[in-house]
């Protein structure tokens, strides 16, 4: 976007373009976070209401209570911001912002569609997970600084739980990365274009398993029930946010809901086709219209797809939350260390073996011209070794970006480097 802006103003490769692009991206993402949180909290209330045989909000903003969260937000802003006497004032005040900043920053590398991303990051998967992992700091800081024993309990639980669950989560994320040979989320998403059978979740039984484990670990990673031990209200009153009030309290919720969306969107990119719908309508429309307009329309449809998939993931998390009791801390750790880690390892080893032995996959069954396109792609980019190495080592070769994508092909050169490295290693 920065180049585009610089071109408009004709100022060459200036920092002004980058600044403007960054601001635009920041504002857009802030809207995703803030409006998303509004929507998700409203959704949570409505969904929980329906699950529990009641109506949920019905008054504010019409029949369906659309504006209930906004009204609550106004109430929360107007509330007194209390800092307990025993609190470590600085840490207490800064903690909610740390959490929100972490989950906000994760959106930077999250591609909403092909090319619709704030910043192209070659190691986007790594970046998103790493930044999202920082969210645990806010909980630990909040719990530690509150000066309340209940908060401290919540923080300690969070520290134990989230840190443990990052291990299987990372192992699950490695599987799509290994299959696609890149850590770039845009590339991973683009490789799954076409029918839904191209989604990596259908690549082989092990990716299916991995997808399920990823979702479980992601639920635990963002502290959703049945893993919401840090804020277990029946045990710890409200856990780490016991002492918070007003806006600071609501920031924790915004962070929680936006990181719920991030992990769901990440799941949909890694396993469920990213911005591609089950039937490639958007792609077809884009190709029919052609040109910039076609590209824009297909991108908008792609953004819609990704948001929808993220919403579905969030809805499933809410559904789980309102159906299940909470686990105990030792059971949460047992689940992680005794079940999730071995299963994730099994998924990883299985998927690797599957790729190595070149066993049949659903992804290549639908006449998707992966292999033909692969050569075009490598010719264009000029990484010749990968062209013959791919089929030989049994790694299904990634599909190229859509042809009309020009701006990103340059960066692909860099991104494909891990492919050859991985393959070299496997030989």
Partner 1 sequence: MATSKIDDPRVIEFDVRTDEMLINMGPQHPSTHGVLRLVLRTDGEVVSDVEPHLGYLHRCAEKIGENLTARQWVPYTDRMDYLAAMNMNLGWSLVIEKLLEYDLPERGRHLRVIISEMGRIASHLVAMGTYGLDLGSFTPFLYGFREREKILNLFEEACGARLTYSYLTPGGATADLPVGWTDKCRQFLNQFKEVIPELHTLLTTNSIFVSRTAGIGVMSAKMAVDYGCTGPVLRGSGVYHDLRFHGEERYTEMYEGYVFDVICADPETGEYPESNYEFHGDSLDYPEIPRQAILGDCWHRFYVRMLEVVQSVRLIEQAIEKYEATSGDWGTPIKLVQKLPAKEAYMETEAPRGQMGFYVVGNGDSIPWRVRARSSSFCNLSVTAPLCQGILLADIPAIVGSLDVVMGEIDR
The reply to whether 237 sits near partner 1 by the rule CB under 8 A is: yes
Q: Where in 167-226 is the site for partner 1 (CB under 8 A)? A: 225-226
The reply to whether 85 sits near partner 1 by the rule CB under 8 A is: no
Query: Least distance in Å: CB of 157 to partner 1?
Result: 8
The reply to whether 288 sits near partner 1 by the rule CB under 8 A is: no
Handedness of CA 141, 143, 148, 153 (dihedral sign): negative
Q: Name the phi and psi angles at 222, rounded to 5.
A: -100, 15
Query: Least distance in Å: CB of 394 to partner 1?
Result: 39
The reply to whether 292 sits near partner 1 by the rule CB under 8 A is: no
> Of 192 and 242, which CB lies nearer to partner 1 in the complex structure?
242
Query: Least distance in Å: CB of 226 to partner 1?
Result: 6
Handedness of CA 331, 334, 335, 336 (dihedral sign): positive
Nearest CA-CA partner of 244 in 33, 80, 74 = 80
The reply to whether 54 sits near partner 1 by the rule CB under 8 A is: yes
The reply to whether 331 sits near partner 1 by the rule CB under 8 A is: yes
Q: Which of 47, 98, 232, 306 binds partner 1 (CB under 8 A)?
A: 232
Q: Which of 92, 107, 144, 150 binds partner 1 (CB under 8 A)?
A: 150
Residue 402: DSSP 8-state:
P
The reply to whether 228 sits near partner 1 by the rule CB under 8 A is: yes
Query: Least distance in Å: CB of 216 to partner 1?
Result: 13
Query: Least distance in Å: CB of 51 to partner 1?
Result: 6
Q: Where in 257-286 is the site for partner 1 (CB under 8 A)? A: none
Q: Which of 4, 55, 82, 233 binds partner 1 (CB under 8 A)?
A: 233
Q: How many residues does the chain have?
A: 427
Query: Least distance in Å: CB of 232 to partner 1?
Result: 6
The reply to whether 420 sits near partner 1 by the rule CB under 8 A is: no
Give the side-chain half-sphere CA count within 13 A for 244. Answer: 30
Contact partners, residue 147, CB within 8 Å, separation at least 6 = 84, 85, 86, 87, 88, 243
The reply to whether 329 sits near partner 1 by the rule CB under 8 A is: yes
The reply to whether 327 sits near partner 1 by the rule CB under 8 A is: yes
Q: Apex CA 113: angle with CA 110 and CA 115, to 5°?
A: 85
How far apart (Å, rounded) are the C-alpha atoms in residues 139 and 158? 7
> Of 166 and 228, which CB lies nearer to partner 1 in the complex structure?
228
Contact 159, 230 (CB under 8 A): no
How far apart (Å, rounded) are the C-alpha atoms in residues 314 and 333? 23
Contact 185, 116 (CB under 8 A): no
Contact 127, 162 (CB under 8 A): no
Question: Rule CB under 8 A: which residues touch partner 1?
Answer: 48, 51-54, 149-150, 153, 156-157, 225-226, 228-229, 232-237, 322-331
């Amino acid at each position: 976007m920065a180049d585009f802006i610089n071109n408009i103003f004709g100022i060459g490769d200036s920092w002004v373009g980058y600044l403007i692009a960054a601001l635009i991206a920041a504002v857009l993402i802030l809207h995703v976070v803030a409006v998303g949180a509004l929507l998700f909290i409203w959704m949570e209330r409505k969904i929980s209401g329906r699950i529990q045989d009641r109506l949920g909000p019905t008054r504010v903003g019409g029949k369906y209570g659309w504006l209930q969260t906004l009204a609550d937000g106004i109430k929360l802003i107007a509330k007194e911001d209390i800092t307990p006497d025993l609190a470590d004032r600085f840490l207490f005040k800064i903690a909610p912002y740390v959490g929100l900043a972490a989950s906000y920053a994760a959106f930077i590398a999250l591609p909403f569609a092909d090319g619709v991303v704030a910043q192209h990051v070659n190691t986007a998967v790594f970046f998103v997970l790493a930044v999202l992992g920082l969210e645990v700091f806010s909980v630990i800081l909040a719990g530690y600084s509150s000066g309340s024993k209940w908060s401290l309990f919540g923080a300690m639980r969070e520290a134990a739980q989230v840190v443990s669950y990052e291990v299987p989560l990372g192992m699950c994320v490695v599987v799509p990365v290994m299959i696609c040979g890149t850590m770039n989320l845009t590339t991973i998403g683009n490789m799954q274009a076409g029918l839904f059978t191209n989604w990596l979740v259908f690549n082989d039984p092990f990716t299916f398993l991995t997808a399920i484990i990823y979702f479980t670990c992601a639920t635990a990673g963002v502290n959703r029930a049945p893993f919401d031990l840090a804020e277990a209200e029946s045990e710890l009153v409200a856990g780490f946010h016991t002492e918070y009030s007003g806006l600071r309290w609501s920031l924790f919720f915004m962070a929680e809901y936006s990181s719920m969306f991030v992990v769901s969107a990440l799941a949909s990119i890694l396993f469920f086709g990213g911005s591609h719908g089950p039937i490639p309508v958007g792609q077809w429309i884009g190709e029919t219209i052609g040109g910039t307009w076609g590209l824009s329309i297909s991108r908008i449809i792609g953004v819609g797809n990704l948001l929808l998939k993220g919403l579905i993931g969030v809805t499933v998390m809410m559904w789980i939350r309102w159906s299940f009791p909470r686990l105990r801390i030792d059971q949460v750790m047992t689940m992680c260390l005794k079940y999730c880690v071995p299963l994730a390892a099994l998924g990883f080893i299985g998927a690797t073996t599957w790729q190595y032995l070149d066993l049949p996959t659903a992804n290549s069954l639908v006449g998707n011209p992966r292999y033909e396109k692969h050569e075009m792609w490598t010719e264009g980019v000029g990484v010749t070794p990968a062209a013959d190495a791919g089929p030989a080592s049994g790694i299904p070769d990634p599909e190229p970006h859509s042809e009309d994508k020009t701006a990103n092909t340059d960066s692909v050169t860099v991104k494909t480097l891990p492919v050859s490295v991985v393959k070299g290693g496997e030989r």
